[in-house]
Every structure is written in structure tokens, then in C-alpha cells.
Amino acid sequence: MRWRSADRAESAEVHEHLAFLHAATVRIGGDLEAAQVAASLCETAVPRVADLAAAYLYDAVLGDGDPPELPGAPPEGLLRQVAAAGHASPPDLALAGEIAVSKLTGPFAATISSGQLVMWPDPDQRDDDVSCLLPSLRPASLLAVPLRAGQHMLGFAVLLRAAGRAGFDEIDVLTATLMADQAALGVHKALLYQREARVADALQRSMLPKHPPRLPGVEVAYRYLPGNPTAQVGGDWFDAIPLPGGRVALVVGDVMGHGVHSAATMGQLRTAVRTLAALDLPPDQVLRHLDRLFDDTVGQSAEQYLATCVYCVYDPVARRCVIANAGHVPPVLVHADGRTELVPVPAGVPLGVGDVSFQTIEVAAPDGGLIALCTDGLVESRDRDIGAGLDALCAALTKTAASPDDLCENVLHALNTDGREDDIALLIARFDGIPGASVANWVMHPNAQAARHVRGLIATTLTGWGLEEQIDAASLLATELVSNAIRHTTRPITLRLMRTSTLLCEVTDDDHRLPILCEPDDDAEAGRGIYLVSRLSHRWGAGHTAAGKAVWFELTL
């Protein structure tokens, strides 16, 4: 059968209109910003469907509130114009930018309260007032189209045609309805997405340290930058954890993925790292325990996650760093003479793989040098592979900076992080060391004369340091620790004093049993030593060492 020319023309017109609807649907639903979705709706509608289009959303929706529900009149509130587009031919078309819900009239009030499309003018209805949105304009016709997600009203869109153009017909109404439905779906999805991102961001920021700690022998600075809105919040974290003996644990990690679950997983890992660090375990054992915990808890969830982590312990007295890595970006070591190198720590595998071992590497950390730890968001992007990013990081770290904080800023600027798609965590620690004159060490045999000998050593040392006012308290508490060590060991014990912003006293022996703090009874003959230490010192603690244990306390200066 041969088609008539009119049939072919009608078929071509239908196909062309369907193609327009398909392209409009893809364009309108292709963004995760509510305002951009609304803008796509307006720009797509002009000029094919309307000469002027504008979209309004509730302020509560744009914030973190709940949209009003249908049916019924909307609650008091504010509708804000979030997008508008106009065809060049009709002059002076304009719509009000912000409108209170209570001031809506005519077709706008009708569409908001009913959730249905309203055409104006409607021959079956009275000539409703449209001046609330069109104070100085009288269009030929308009459509007030609801933006609704189920029974929730998000706002509405207005499509206008100027005088000289035919009014809206049934095809226009159907087209406008389909486009508005797609826009409402996109706005709703964007709002849910952004709400989750805000929750994840708040969760993540609440778990990250707010200010760098002030630590003896090292100056620490860090930066955290969330990814762009399309990336959501990820699982990057960092920390600087004080350890006994003036040491510090530097940690940077990254949970793969984005959103609330990644941020929550990050929080679990960061808490676990702090707990394991408090036990003063070697870096490889920290990662081993972390991997087992990750596999037992996070790994059992419906969503599978992996995480990377690098754990570095800096000793400002020995001027050494001990580092272990779990599939993370390697640290960059900057020597005092400006040379940079990627620390050749074994890469290991990410946490969550399970049943793997981790290795450590020990490197010199002379005064004046620094170490930089980061997540891959800093050094890897779509247009730069990780190798080139690490080269750029090394180059940026050689630039002169007054402080690690300034160096962080220089690095972010040099690596052009403005267009990032992933979270960025950067931690820089500058090695200052602790002078040998501020540290005193003694090794003594565990005999009855050791306690009396300790009091004399402490008095002489603190007098030389100009800390005479601390002699009584330090002598009393150190004697208690040494007496406890003598009671449980037959091998030599070590006593160390270190003067920084506090006075640290540390006693080590080969007994692995840690002291237990308890409040002694009036008739108790033992247990008072650790109780006195806990009551009279600023801080105290105990941890395992490779050969036994270390018990320490600090006095404020």
C-alpha cells in the first residue's frame, strides 16, 4: 500500500516529536543538582513548547526539610524561582523570583493544592488572577505544571506563550506533563542524593580531627577536601596519635566507595586504629588486627568494601620512622637537603582481603626532613595517572614553605585540586626531633637498692634541667613503677626521663603482664602504686613491647 504524502508527513512529525521527547528526558534527568534539573526543564521547553519557562521549588525542599503532601492546600512557606529560560522574540517577559505560598493565586494556587496541571485561560473556568507571578505581563496562554514526587509537592513550573502564538493544545499539555514528571523525578533523586551526601559529610567530618595535635619533636599539618557534588562523600581519613615515649603514629586511609556506608566504615576503622595504637603495637601488627576486624565486621555486610591504609610511627628521640602499608599510596620522604623519595615500603594488599601478612620498613628521619601521606584523590585523576601525580607531589614538596601548614596549601595549589572528583586527605609531618640533652636513660638491675638509686638519679637530672619543683612527685611515682618492675622480673629494667612540654618518665621490663588500676581498700597491702600514679600524674599508660612492657607517666610543666 502506497502512503499518501500527508500520511508520510504526519508519520515524520510523530517520529520527530518522539525523538524530541527522548532527548528532553535524557537531558532533564541527567544531573544530580536540583537547580540544574529545573534549568534543563526550562531550557528544553523553550522555544519548542513555550516562549518562557520558569521553575519554582519550596525553600524547605532546597534545604533539608520535607515537601508538603497532597491532597490539600500547601502549608505556609516560600517558593523560590530556581530556573528560568526565555525565547528571544517575545520582549519583556518576566516572572517573579520569590513568592510566598500564601500569595499564590489563580492557576498557580490551583496546581499547587491539587497536584494537577492547570491551563490558563480555561474557557470552562473564570479568568483567574495571575498577577502574583506576572505583575506586568499578560501572556496569550500559560500552563501551570506541578512538580510532584508521589504525594509530595516539590514545586511547580510555568510555561508561557506570548501573544501572536497559538495556545497550548492537547499534544503540548501531554508533552509538558511528561517533561515535568521527568524533572520532578530528577529533582527528587537529586535531593535524596544531596541529603545523603550531607549526612555522610557531617558523619565524616565529625570523625576527623579538628586541629593538629601539639606533639614534641614533630609539627603536623593536614588538609581534607571533600569530592565534588557528583562524587558524594568518600571514606578518606587521617590521624596523628600520640604514643608513649614521645612517639607519634601518623595514619592515612581510604575506604573505597562513596556515601554514608563508606563514611560509617571509615569511622569504624579510625576508631579501631586509635584503639590499636593505644596498645602501642608495631605498625604491621596494627594492620594485621585491622584487617581481621575489617573482615569480621565490615566484610560480613551485604555491601563488600575494601580499604587501604598506611601507618607510620615516628620516634623523635631515635629519629626513625617505622612504616607498614596496606595497599595505599606510598609516603613521600623529603630529606633535610631537599631530596625526595617514595618510601619503598612493601605495598601489601588492601584491608578486607583477609589472611595476609604485612611488612614494615624502617627509615631514618633526620631533623629538618618531613614525610607526606595522602590518599589517591590527590595524585590521581582522569587526566593524570598516579605515577605522574606522585612526581608532581614530590616536586611540590621541595618548594620552600614556612611551616607544614603552608606546605599543605602549596601542595594543593600545585596539584590543581579545584576540579577534583574524589576526596583528598593530605598529612604532612616535619621532623624536629628531641635534643639528646633533654633525654636521660638508665639501665639497672632489679635489686633492693634500685628504688633508692632512682630517687638520686631523678633529683640530679631534674636539678640540671631546672625542674626542681618536679623532683618530689617524679621521684615518688618513678619509685613506684621501678618497685613494681622489680617485683615481677629478674632481668635489667630501663628508666627513661624526657623533657618536652611535659616531663615523661618511662619504665620498661621483660614482664608482659600489664598493671591493673584499682582503688585499694584501707587494709590492702598492694595495688597502691598504680593508683598513686593515676591520681598524681597528668597522664599515664602501659603497653606491650617486643620484650615485655612499658609503663609511663607524664607531669605537666
What is the pLDDT, as a whole number, of residue 408? 93
Domain boundaries, the chain: 11-198, 208-431, 436-556
472: left (phi over 0), alpha (psi -120 to 50) or beta: alpha
Pick the residue with more confidence: 491 or 22? Answer: 491
Q: Which three cell numbers stand for residue 178?
A: 511528561
Beta-bridged to residue 446, according to DSSP, are: none
CA 51/CA 137 separation, integer angstroms? 13
Pick the residue with more confidence: 73 or 143? Answer: 143
**What would be the CATH architecture of the domain defined by 208-431?**
4-Layer Sandwich (3.60)
Lowest mean pLDDT: which of 48-57, 94-103, 361-370, 427-436?
94-103
CA 515/CA 489 separation, integer angstroms? 13
Residue 382 CB coordination number (10 Å): 7
Using the predicted structure, report yes or no on whether residue 415 has a pLDDT greater than 60: yes
Listed residue (373, 384, 377) closest to 343, CA to CA: 373
Residue 27 CB coordination number (10 Å): 17
Domains 11-198 and 436-556 share a fold: no
Question: pLDDT for 463-496, tens place per residue?
Answer: 999 999 999 999 999 999 999 888 888 889 999 9
The percentage of residues in the chain with a pLDDT greater than 70, rounded to a whole number, is: 85
Listed residue (315, 321, 317) closest to 373, CA to CA: 321
Which of the four pLDDT bands, split at 50, 70 and 90, describes residue 91? very low
Query: What is the mean pLDDT of the segment spanning 180-187?
Result: 89
Question: pLDDT for 373-412, tens place per residue?
Answer: 999 889 887 778 888 989 999 999 998 888 999 999 999 9
Pick the residue with more confidence: 303 or 391? Answer: 391
Pick the residue with more confidence: 156 or 150? Answer: 156
Helix/strand/coil for 471? helix
Residue ranges of E strands in 77-232: 78-86, 98-100, 118-120, 141-149, 152-161, 218-225
Question: pLDDT for 117-146, tens place per residue?
Answer: 988 887 665 557 787 887 766 678 889 999
Listed residue (229, 306, 295) closest to 266, CA to CA: 306
Instruction: Identify the CATH class of 11-198.
Output: alpha beta
What is the pLDDT, as a whole number, of residue 1? 44
Lowest mean pLDDT: which of 242-256, 260-274, 441-455?
260-274
Task: Return the CATH fold of 436-556.
Answer: Heat Shock Protein 90 (3.30.565)
The secondary structure element, H or E, covering residue 173 is helix 170-207
Are 362 and 318 in contact by the 8 Å Cβ rule? The answer is: no
Are 357 and 321 in contact by the 8 Å Cβ rule? The answer is: no
User: Which residues in 413-435 are b (16+ Cβ under 10 Å) and which e?
Assistant: eebebeebebbbbbbbbbbbbbe
Query: What is the mean pLDDT of the segment spanning 337-363?
Result: 89
Question: pLDDT for 201-213, tens place per residue?
Answer: 666 666 667 777 7
User: What are the contacts of 222-225 at 24+ separation with CB within 8 A?
Assistant: 222/408, 222/425, 222/426, 222/427, 222/428, 223/408, 223/409, 223/412, 223/424, 223/425, 223/426, 224/423, 224/424, 224/425, 224/426, 225/377, 225/412, 225/417, 225/420, 225/423, 225/424
